[in-house]
Amino acid sequence: MGSKDFGIQIKDQLELSVIRRRVLSVV
């Protein structure tokens, strides 16, 4: 497991949280 994979994981988590926020604000 390299630090690169870890960074990608964090990026995916941030994107998911942003999408979730958008969905919640729309509803």
- In this structure, the chain runs to a length of 27
Q: Model pTM?
A: 0.55
In the chain, where the domains are located? 1-27
pLDDT at 18: 95
- DSSP H helical segments within 1-27, as ranges? 3-26
CA pair distance 25, 13, nearest whole angstrom: 18
Report pLDDT digits (tens) over 1-27.
Answer: 577 888 899 999 999 999 999 999 887
pLDDT in the model for residue 26: 80
Residue 11, pLDDT score:
94
